[in-house]
Structure 1
Amino acid sequence: MRIAVDLLGGDNAPDVVVDGALRACAADPAVHLLLVGPPAVAEAAVAAAPAATRDRLSVLPATRAVAMTDPATRGGRPETTVRAAVAAVAAGTADAVVSAGASGAIVTAAALGFGRLPGIRRPALAASLPAVAGPVVLLDVGGSLDCGPATLLWHAALGAAYAALVHDRDRPRVGLLSIGVEPGKGDRARRLADPALAAADLPRRARYVGLVEGHEVCDGSRADVVVTDGFTGNILLKGIEGAYAMAGAASTAPRAGALLGVRGTAVVCHGAAGPADVASGIALAATLYRRRVAQTLAAIVADRVEA
């Protein structure tokens, strides 16, 4: 498989991205990486790679990064590394894209370059949280900050399918994040989405278990998929990361998530990702490609829209 890696995405790019890319290439002999960035940086990375992996590295020149302070629309400009990486996938030169750049710019680039799935206005970032009972899929964690009830229903459908495809969950349990478990708790979007989810026919024989609170997310006892908007999801994810730091423990919070709802495979890494996080993001992209997640989600969404 061929994975396009944005060399200029992230707080510590390009060094940590190059390091992580070389680690991922060495770990998986089936991976071929397309290094998207300034030619001097990409060519130096190829030269630094072990001889055994050098023939699985190639270069796609692109010179402009999208800064974390730039507007999300900057990701749509063709001269940026993230848009060039997405364009490579859209053209068939690569099979997936990985970037640690600004989430909004990546979502914009993927939505423009791949196109959204029918019926989906706002793509979602899905992160897999470690939990006692197995991974819990949390979405959205930053793809769409402001979500209405219809978007939350789509998130539930995408998340249920993702849990089944990536984590082999049989009949995944889906919950809606709120401030209490009693019906009627939460803001307007959740008060409307709760009964709609209860009546929805979710894919992969998923079942809706109702509202869940924040403290229930990481134990996995009630839900395999937790649905929320990108604003609260991102805060929750980073709060978990901060709790590990305060406890003096190494964080096991994910630093890479899959972008769901677009016609292609894209993985977004944390902006502060280190080499291991970048390597993990590339490994996730490889898993998504191997399991044909993007194609299966597209088929599920098409069936629901037609119905």
Structure 2
Amino acid sequence: MIRAAAPDQALSRVESGVRTAILAVAQGHADAVVSAGNTGATVTSAALGLGRWPGVRRPALAAVLPTVAGRLVLLDVGSSVDPDEHTLAMHARLGAAYAAVVHGVAAPRVGLLTIGTERGKGDRLRRAAPAVLAALDLPAGGHYTGLVEGNDVVTGTAADVVVTDGFTGNVLLKGLETAYALIRPPGTDDVPPRAAILLGVGGTVVVCHGAASADDIAAGIALAADLHRRAAVPVIADLIQFPAGHPSPAAHEDSRGGS
């Protein structure tokens, strides 16, 4: 007879497996982690086991989406569900560096996802973030291009990188994945990946959906292998170092007691 584990036991096993994988990377026994386990457990284990980059309080999950104009980096898609504007600023830096290093985007355009492009639209976060984003010294010659809407994520014409909170980003990502699966031409390989890179930690970590198929896991492994071969993570980390006179977003969070 097969006995099902209680929910707390199942979660404990997932967390234990994730910690073991992270430890393998930290000790040099593995080059990357690909996890389809609990996202929160993966992010926390990676931050603790591999360390966070200087200035990064909250790592970000970044997904790359096919659009009409090319590829677009969307973050966060599930790591920080309730960030403040300074966390979004750091994620903007991470996304711009990722777009430049991995996809060769020159001077990445960074947009903030909201419900309308008119000034003052959106919730408190969306009203507070534009001023912080506009003042950023983005890596790779990037610049903040302003507010974008959901249709801009599909066309890709307004921004190369779109920043939002992890709750909204996760909802949007899953909706786009399902819509694309229903309408894409048969045999098309250019599909939204069911995996995201965790940016801001000291190692290559790829997070897949909990309901990922064998093909999804294979795609996640291929992504992790490609990032490792290209030494993408340390290059991105170098790009987001803060120049003299430009305090990191974490400094703002520390002065406010965190976010």
Q: State the TM-score, normalizing by the size of structure 2.
A: 0.85
In structure 2, relative to structure 1, the CA distance for the partners of 1:198 and 1:148 (3 Å cut) is same
Q: Do the aligned residues in 1 keep the contact of 2:101 with 2:236 (CA within 8 Å)?
A: no
Aligned with residue 145 of structure 2, among 209, 232, 248 = 209
AA aligned opposite 1:279? A
Kindly indicate whether residue 26 of structure 2 is the aligned counterpart of residue 90 of structure 1: yes
Structure 1 alignment gaps of length 5 or more: 1-64
Gaps of 5+ in 2: 247-259
Report the AA paired with residue 138 of structure 2.
Answer: L
For 1:275 and 1:164, the matched residues in 2 are separated by 30
1:266 to 199, 205, 217: 205
Distance in 2 of aligned mates of 1:184 and 1:262? 33
Pick from 181, 185, 188: which aligns with 2:124? 188
Q: CA shift at 1:226, angstroms?
A: 0.3
Query: Does residue 36 of structure 2 align to residue 100 of structure 1?
Result: yes
Measure the CA separation in 1 of the matches of 2:105 and 2:141. 10
Indicate if the aligned counterparts of 2:34 and 2:208 stay in contact, CA closer than 8 A.
yes
> Given the alignment of the two structures, is residue 298 of structure 1 paired with residue 237 of structure 2, yes or no?
yes
Structure 1 residue aligned with 2:255: none
Distance 1:188 1:160 in 2: 24
The question of 1:123 aligning with 2:62 is answered: no
Distance in 1 (CA, whole Å) between partners of 2:8 and 2:243 is 36
Structure ranking higher on relative contact order (CA contacts 8 Å, 6+ apart): 2
**Letter paired with 1:228:** T
Give distance in 2, aligned partners of 1:270 and 1:146.
20
Partner of 1:144: 80
State which drifts further: 225-234 or 117-126: 117-126
* Conservation of the 8 A alpha-carbon contact between 1:76 and 1:109: no
- More moved, 105-114 vs 247-256: 247-256
Give the direction of change, closer, same or farther, for the CA distance of 1:75–1:291 in structure 2 (3 Å limit): farther
The 8 Å contact of residues 145 and 159 in structure 2, kept in 1 or not, is answered as yes
The reply on whether 1:285 has 2:224 as its aligned counterpart is yes
Deviation at 1:253, TM superposition (A): 2.3
Between the aligned residues of both structures, percent identity stands at 59
Query: How far apart in 2 are the matches of 1:94 and 1:66?
Result: 31
- Per the TM alignment, residue 240 of structure 1 is displaced from its structure 2 partner at its CA by 1.0
Once the two structures are superposed, residues 172-225 of structure 1 have per-residue CA deviations (whole angstroms, 9 ceiling, x without a partner) of 111000011122111111211112111211000012110000111021111110
**In structure 1, distance between residues paired with 2:9 and 2:127:** 34
Q: Does the aligned pair in 2 maintain the 1:122–1:144 contact within 8 Å?
A: yes
Cα separation, partners in 2 of 1:196 and 1:69, compared to 1, 3 Å: farther
Query: Which residue is equivalent to 1:35?
Result: none
Task: Output the amino acid matched with 1:293.
Answer: A
TM-score w.r.t. the length of structure 1 is: 0.72
Residue correspondences, number: 239
Judged with a 3 Å threshold, the aligned counterparts in structure 2 of structure 1 residues 246 and 204 are, in CA distance, closer, same or farther, namely same
Amino acid at match of 1:268: V
